[in-house]
Structure 1
């Protein structure tokens, strides 16, 4: 998998982290709203994270909007939702040297910075 930074351009947290990471030129930027995440990317990220659920953003407005918080979702449901709408993917995601750093926790960002340096 190529070096990639998957983010949402309108997300302030993504923008802050993007500048904080000081990404090398070898990292391609992918605004998930303009260029949705692919099945191949989802499969790679699932292998890295351990499940589709681990990639899922429960803070997305559509999560409550679609009443998903009231349903028992399966791994396949999570996969379909991740492919269905860009807001369901946890972000940002840095894929660097075949390792994925998923989300915006301090621990994940610190690990991403370490990998880049």
Structure 2
């Protein structure tokens, strides 16, 4: 898996973290709205996170908009939703040296900084 930073260009948190990480030039920037995550990336990220559900962004407007908060979703449902629309993927995601740092928690960002240094 290639060193990649997956983010949403219009997301202020993603922009802030992108600047905070001071990404090396060899990291591919992937704006998920223009270049949605691939099946290969989803499978790699699932292995790293342990489940598709762990990759799922429940804060996405479509989550409530589609009434998904009222449903009991399976792993297959989460996978399909992640591939269906870019807003469902938790972000940002740094894939660096075959390790994924998923989300914007302080611990994840701190771990990503250590890996990059």
TM-score by length of 1: 1.00
Q: How much does 1:96 deviate?
A: 0.2
Taking only aligned residues, the RMSD between alpha carbons, in angstroms, comes to 0.2
Q: How much does 1:18 deviate?
A: 0.1
Q: Count the aligned residue pairs.
A: 117
Mapped to 1, the partners of 2:114 and 2:26 lie a distance apart of 16
Q: Secondary structure at the match of 1:25?
A: coil
Mapped to 2, the partners of 1:77 and 1:22 lie a distance apart of 35
| Residues 1:99 and 2:77 aligned together | no
Mapped to 2, the partners of 1:56 and 1:104 lie a distance apart of 13
Q: Secondary structure at the match of 1:81?
A: helix
Q: How much does 1:26 deviate?
A: 1.1
Q: Secondary structure at the match of 1:35?
A: coil
What stretches of structure 1 of length at least 5 have no aligned partner? none
TM-score by length of 2: 1.00
Mapped to 1, the partners of 2:57 and 2:13 lie a distance apart of 14
What stretches of structure 2 of length at least 5 have no aligned partner? none
